[in-house]
Amino acid sequence: MTTRRQFLHSSALAIAATALDWRALLAAGASPRQPDLLTLVRGTVGTFTGRGGTIGWHIDAKSVVVVDSQFPATAQTCLDAVNARTQSRTIDYLVNTHHHGDHTGGNGVFRPAARKILAHANVPRLQREAAERAVAAARNAPPPAPGAPPAPAPVPPDQQVYADTLFQSTWREPVGDEVMSLKYYGAAHTGGDAVITFEKANVVHAGDLIFNRRQPVIDRPGGSSIAGWATVLEGILADHPADTIYIFGHAGANFPATGNRADLLVQRDYLTALLEYVRGEIKAGKPREVIVKVTEPLKGFPDHGPLTERVLGSAFDELTA
């Protein structure tokens, strides 16, 4: 039987996750994957899969770019692999697709090697606010039950490493023999998602705009919009040719972290269906506490697995805001 202390402790952990300690949220409960070496996707662009959001990279004789930094341990593994391939040349840009800790937690590892850290203009503020919420939640959480492990300590705002080069809507620059462009399409997964295109390779790093056949993280405190997210995906597809290869932030256990426009359409259709489902439940008079307890897969999307309280609650809150 769960004691009151255990219940309060578990509730506090849930609050801390909602407060965007993304290291705990996205790493907890998932089987850690062994870090891979650098895997080529096309041209000079490839991926590194460790733990957290998929890292992208561009390496040629004149330039080095890394997209996202995961957590410190896997960031170091990735940096070591990049250094081995480049003879430890300076990284021209470390790009953060957005502010979550599984994409920025390794910034401090890359910082000494990177000339600039590039992100959308909203990212430093969102990163700081998320850290403040996580610290406050941890401070107010009750102590763990006897014998229970302590919750992971969040990284406070003054120990975060933030982007120093920011853009508002678009950014474009040659990187060696490649051309890298960034675009902000509007509120989606967060309020600061950058889409990174390596134009000559025709490879796009979409960050967490794609959870390939996996329940997405919908970050309302960080500016997310489910309806906006679906529209953003349509904008990305309109801007890129049919043979573009996309790098995804996350993927389900049986699905790859790269894919094509069909995968973006699945993500768009999932988000649209999620809103339609919750809207129907609201119209039927069901309260939030009933709607969020559904654990069946969303109809038509069995590969995404069971719906979660966090996903359903985010949809409910958006529709009733």
DSSP state of 297: B
304-310: long-range contacts, CB 8 A cutoff, minimum separation 24: 304/213, 304/214, 304/215, 304/252, 304/270, 305/214, 305/215, 305/252, 306/215, 307/215, 308/215, 310/18, 310/217, 310/218
Q: Which two tokens stand for residue 97?
A: 């697709």
Indicate the pLDDT class of residue 153, thresholds 50, 70 and 90. confident
User: 228 or 11: whose pLDDT is higher?
Assistant: 228
pLDDT in tens, 177-194: 999 999 999 999 999 999
- Which pLDDT value is given to residue 13? 37
- Say what percent of the chain tops pLDDT 70: 89
Per residue in 227-276, pLDDT tens? 999 999 999 999 999 999 999 999 999 999 999 999 999 999 999 999 99
Identify the pLDDT of residue 168.
98
What is the CATH code of the structural domain delimited by 4-320?
3.60.15.10
pLDDT bucket at 143, cuts 50 / 70 / 90: confident
